[in-house]
Structure 1
Amino acid sequence: MNDSIPLLGFTTSLLELLSFLLSVITVALTIRQIHWGWLFSILSSALYAAVFFNAKLYGDMGLQVVFILVSLWGWWVWLRGEGGQDALPVTRLSSSQKVLAVCSWLVMCALLVWFLKTYTDTDVPYADGFLTAASLLGQFLLSRKKIENWMVWIMVDVLYVGLYVVKNLQLTALLYAVFVVLAVMGLRSWGKTCQQ
Structure 2
Amino acid sequence: MLAELWAALLAPAFTAFGSPASWLELLAFVLAVWMVLCNMRVRLLAWPLAFVSSLLYFALFWDGKLYGEAALQLVFAALAVWGLWQWRFGRTRDGEVLTVRRLGLRGLLKPALLTLAAWPLLGLFLDHATDSPLPYWDAFPTVASLLGQWLLARKYIENWPVWIVVNAASVVLFGLKGYWLTVVLYAGFIPMSMMGWRAWRRA
For residue 25 of structure 2, give the secondary structure of its aligned residue in structure 1. helix
Looking at structure 2, the residues matched to 172 and 139 of structure 1 have their Cα atoms a distance apart, in angstroms, of 19
2:112 to 102, 105, 115: 102
Cα shift at 1:57: 0.7
Task: Report what 1:28 is aligned to.
Answer: 37
Task: Report what 2:150 is aligned to.
Answer: 140
Task: Report what 1:61 is aligned to.
Answer: 70
Which has the higher mean CA deviation after the structures are superposed, 143-152 or 89-98?
89-98
Looking at structure 2, the residues matched to 48 and 95 of structure 1 have their Cα atoms a distance apart, in angstroms, of 32
Looking at structure 2, the residues matched to 172 and 78 of structure 1 have their Cα atoms a distance apart, in angstroms, of 27
For residue 11 of structure 1, give the secondary structure of its aligned residue in structure 2. strand
Cα shift at 1:8: 5.7
Looking at structure 2, the residues matched to 110 and 80 of structure 1 have their Cα atoms a distance apart, in angstroms, of 35
Show structure 2 runs of 5+ residues with no match.
1-8
Looking at structure 2, the residues matched to 6 and 167 of structure 1 have their Cα atoms a distance apart, in angstroms, of 17
Which has the higher mean CA deviation after the structures are superposed, 23-32 or 91-100?
91-100
Cα shift at 1:7: 4.7
Q: How does 1:111-130 map to 2 (within 5 A)?
A: 111-130=121-140
Show structure 1 runs of 5+ residues with no match.
none
Task: Give deviations 1:123-172, integer Å, cap 9, x for gaps.
Answer: 11111111111111111111111111100111111121121111010000
Looking at structure 1, the residues matched to 187 and 82 of structure 2 have their Cα atoms a distance apart, in angstroms, of 27
Looking at structure 2, the residues matched to 140 and 110 of structure 1 have their Cα atoms a distance apart, in angstroms, of 20
Cα shift at 1:37: 0.5
> Identity of paired residues, percent?
41
1:156 to 166, 172, 175: 166
TM-score (normalizing by structure 2): 0.90
Looking at structure 1, the residues matched to 172 and 124 of structure 2 have their Cα atoms a distance apart, in angstroms, of 22
Cα shift at 1:101: 1.6
Q: How does 1:14-93 map to 2 (within 5 A)?
A: 14-83=23-92, 84-85=95-96, 87-93=97-103
Looking at structure 1, the residues matched to 188 and 104 of structure 2 have their Cα atoms a distance apart, in angstroms, of 29
Q: How many residues align?
A: 192
Moved >3 Å (runs of 4+)? 7-10
1:6 to 1, 14, 17: 14
Looking at structure 2, the residues matched to 163 and 109 of structure 1 have their Cα atoms a distance apart, in angstroms, of 15
Task: Report what 1:187 is aligned to.
Answer: 197
Letter in 2 for 1:167: K
Query: Residues 16 and 180 of structure 2 are in contact (CA less than 8 Å); yes or no, is this contact kept in structure 1?
Result: no
Query: Residues 57 and 70 of structure 2 are in contact (CA less than 8 Å); yes or no, is this contact kept in structure 1?
Result: yes
Which has the higher mean CA deviation after the structures are superposed, 15-24 or 123-132?
123-132
